[in-house]
Structure 1
Amino acid sequence: MLDRRRLQKSTIILSIIVVSSIVLSLFSYNYFTQTNDKIQSLAIRELQTNSEIEAFSLSNGLGNAINTIRSNLELIANSPSTTDWNISKIQILLNKGLESTASLTDGYYLLDKEGKIVTFTSIDEKDNSKYVGTDLSSREYFNIPKQNGTIYISTVIISNDNIPRLYISVPIFSSFAPQVTNVDNRTNGNESLSISKTFEGVVFASIETKMLGRFLEDQIHPNFPGDVTFVDRNGTILYTQNQTLIGEGIFGQKFQRAVNLLLKDRSAEFNSIIRNAMNSNNGMNEFTFGNNVTTIAYDSVTAGGKKVLESSDKIGTLFIAAPHTLAEDVTATINFQTSLTFIIIGTIITISFITAILLLKWNRLLGSLVNQKTGELKEMVKELSQSNSDLTKTKNALTNTNQELAISNSKLKDANKALEQHDIQQKEFINIAAHELRTPSQAISGNIELIEIAYLPSLLKGTSANYEKIDKEFEDMVKDKQQLHGFIEGLMSTYRNSRRLEKIVSDILDVSRIEGKRLELDKEIFNINEKVKNVIRDIHEESSETSKAGNVKPVDIRFETEQDPLMVLIDRTRMFQAISNLINNAIKFSDNEPITISIKKDLFDSTRIEKKSDIVTTKNQNDKSQANGVIVSIKDKGKGIDEEILPQLFNKFVTKSEKGTGLGLYIAKRIIEAHGGEIWAQNNQDGKGATFTFRLPLQDS
């Protein structure tokens, strides 16, 4: 019975080994297949990217080189030596131009206005001296600049020495002084001036196709696996590795016979790719024929490397054909590795199978010994289990302690950060408050000293003997209107600064009451429209006084309401203070632009959704008669709210202004919240200014 059970166990184990081997083989095959595809795809993409980069680099390098030639020609054409037709100096300029572009050009030439060669410089200057005086007036590179007055870059032209070349030419004009041409009634009798230009000739440079080929070969990395071909805008091959095709048309009979012979039924697709490339700026295509796949990357060539806007601006198109040999080599290597891996897996499975049979036999011998030791192990396990239970309890206790310590540490860090921030804000507030307190105090002291020195010298001496002098000084001052006006201005300045000082002290005391939860409200039902009008009226009066004293423009505050009355339960004094703070804040940043205050009914339980600096309000489509809240908005057209300040705008001591203590918005927020309302702010969507909005519960009138 025992042997039968052992046989069953052995059969199960062997079956598991066989099934595991099959599953492992299938998994390995799938894995290596996917890896092969992925690596091949990456290799192809790498080849495509390198081809596009190489095409761009070559076209850009060639375009920049041609642009240098063009710049040299423009400098020569516009040189005073050229306009003065100083041949010896022009010769020097031509020599310098050839030296700077010797890797691409083989000559610089000067033609007179009849198209004859006046002078030139070239690589084979001695052999070509016979060409001086040659008439080139029939050539495009002379006629087109002469007729259009523009730079001309040719396609391939067979020159007088039967060598194919490209030509770049620039017209030469002489300018004369401005002359009176006519009197036009439309210019109120003023004389009209014009500058006349006279065509004097052409300066051009020649590029031999062989030198163009050598230039491109110098730019190509020696390890790059692709072939390079350069075709001008008319389809003439200027450079390719097969030298016999240079000068042939890419759609000509000779080239097309070679294409049809090689590609057969795929030649039409190949020609379509070429046509599309010549009509485009840049791109890349995959071309397949037989078992071969080739990446064709192309990039247009223009003077200076700029993207062409019109076909006439293009010099030509540069092609790079890169076969996928690397990707195919990678695939072959991976396939070999896959086959080798399967052989190794098969060997491992065979060894594992034999090992399993041996282990099963040894297992029978060890079975009795294992049974003997099992009893002893059970006792040891029981003891270890008890020890493990104790260790687990200890570990849990330590874990809980660590978590509590981590939480406490986090809270301490947050508290420390808050204290540091509070300390920074408090220091900033002390500096601001000291400045704000010092400014009106100094103004008051200065005004009193001015009154004493300029108007009433005996005022502050304080003895009864001086009363008569004070009376006399006062009578004299009253008689002098200028002195009296200055005296009144000094008193008004003292009064304004004392009110400013009183406002700062009042704000500090209000913050103390708010922080100590001692802010008392005497609420009554009142029309919010009237309260806002009272604030506007008060600010207008104060603004008028300030504008008269300081010769500044009064504040323009515009008021709009949707309905009147709108009753709310408020403390009149505190709500006056909150609204004043908000309007004065808008005035401070409005840059003398109008400020608009609008009031309307709204659903008090509508939802505000913050999106960056904008706040969108969503609400039910209920009738306005069911609205249970009132919204007050103060909108300015200033510079808006700094994004850095916006999240903490209503905190204590927060300000980026040189004026103010940073308490006004904080006090306004706490007063509005004490009335059961809420306040928020956002920058206007048109980018000009900001809007502060608060909402209060509406009361039945």
Structure 2
Amino acid sequence: MNKGSFLSFFTANNSVIMAAILIIIIPISLYFYLQQETESSIRDSIFEQQKRNQIDASKAIATHVESDIELIASRLQALASSPSIMDWDATSNATRTLLNDYYKIINSSTPVDRLFLNDRSGVSVLEIAPLNTTNYTGVNFSFRDWINQTKNTLSPVISDIYLGLDGKNRIAMTYPIIIKNSSGLFYNGLVGVVIPVNEFFNFYGNIHDIQSQYLSVLDDKSTIVVHPIPSLVGKPFFESFTQNLTGYNNDLNTLIRTVTSGQPQTLIYDFVNGERLNTGYPVFINGSPKYAVFIVTPTASIYSTVDDIIEKERLQMLALIIGIIAAVLLLIWYLNKVNTTLDKAVRKRTIELEDVNTKLEVANKQIKIHDDMQKEFINMAAHELRNPVQSLLGFSDILRKLNARNKDNDIAHQYKDAIEAISRSSKRLKRLVDIIFDVSQLDNNLLVLNEQSFDLKNTIQNLVNNYQALNILSLNYKREISNNDSSLTKKHIIDFDYSDYPPSSNYVRGDESYLTQVLTNLIDNAIEFTQSESKVKIKIIRNIHKDKVIVTISDNGYGIHPDVLPLLFTKYVKKSKGGAGLSLYISKKIIEAHGGEIWAKNNEDGIGATFGFSLPLEKN
């Protein structure tokens, strides 16, 4: 889109300009509003996730430290129980080889400075240490508390942090060598390892850089074992030196006491140089809390990470909104051009449609006039034809009776067929006139119902009895079918099956004569379209839940053609070559005038059809 066409687009239609401005302003304003509302919750959510991760990390480190210390203790126990150590063969090559093997095994998983063997006086008699390191064989270490504690308790000991002779902070782990004889148990020395503190805990996390997340460890006496500030290592946390540095922070002091006593704890607190997130977890040795592991994170680093994530999301969302706005503006421009083209086509088409509508209005008026004239003619014809038809019926009946009295007369015999034809044609003409009259009354809403209360079940039963009586008298039901110029007679044996479920009275209020006409129409249809050896079934169902009675009439005939079925109850729709196609239309109008419904369908087994109607039950 060139610049000229773009400017012409915006200057062509003020409403388009306003729409474009709104499309730009509303999404961006909504974006900034929602961004401010959601960023706080997002920040809190990410921070909480970081907090949970740090708690899990503290627990994992504590578990790992506990496992490593217990593993060293179990190996010292195995070493102290070995035969060469128990026999105190301290200077033999076998003992040295044994200590050397255990040193390699322990050092493969945990960094240790040396593995040593002391006699009962605390003198080092054998040690394994890296080359080029000071050898302390022959040195008396009885001045160390952990040496005497091992001797006095006859139990393994983990020492407090101490400053080695070389100036490095260490902890020692010892296991007593106990001899058992007839006099009882007596102390015969110990085996132990010296663990450099920094190397040991550096494996689990950062212990040097205080500006980022770091690891701090305290022992069960609240002495600082590991910390990025070297001057704090070895200092009791609750003494003045450390408390001056922490500002006597009561929240932090409570955290330290809680974790060193054996309970995990998390705290966010203000420190001298910023806010901190501190998660602590105890390390249990032999069922007692020996160390407390703390992961400390400056919250500024967490928020910095969170802000980076939010900033990336913000830029992505803003880019998406700008892209959508550009696409929408382009779409508006395109639609405006299309709309201009369509507007011209619509105006042209509107003019054409107005001309067509004018012609249609004239045509509709002419059709209405023609329809009114047709109805008026049908109504008049129905009225005017009733009297002459009645006369024809009367005179044809007189002729039949006269001819019957003179049946032996040749003249009477000669005109017998003609008189019968006149009688039949008069009756058919009367039926047609009656149908036309009924249609005229229904179309003009002039149907007058002679309403009364009657039992529909009895009405149907009487009608069925009439059909059955005709069957009994003639044995066969006959009807004439017009086929070109010939007249054929097709015989039907009718077997009516009448069902009433549940057995009860079915009182309705309506015109019994008109409803009988509906039943007759439906039964005649069933008879007309059934095969030889046909069967017509009539069923009454009383639906007490909907306060109505349902009547169905089924046959085993040819069924209803799918093209005819949707139009079955409209005027002049026929299923055969005979008839005017009005009986079902009249039946529908009569049922609806009684507040009911009528329907038809083909049977599910593919044989024959079922017609049915419903009527409201009379309310008590």
Shorter chain as normaliser: what TM range?
0.3 to 0.5
Higher relative contact order (CA 8 A, sep 6+): 1
Greater Rg, structure 1 or structure 2? 2
Taking structure 2 as the reference length, the TM-score comes to: 0.46
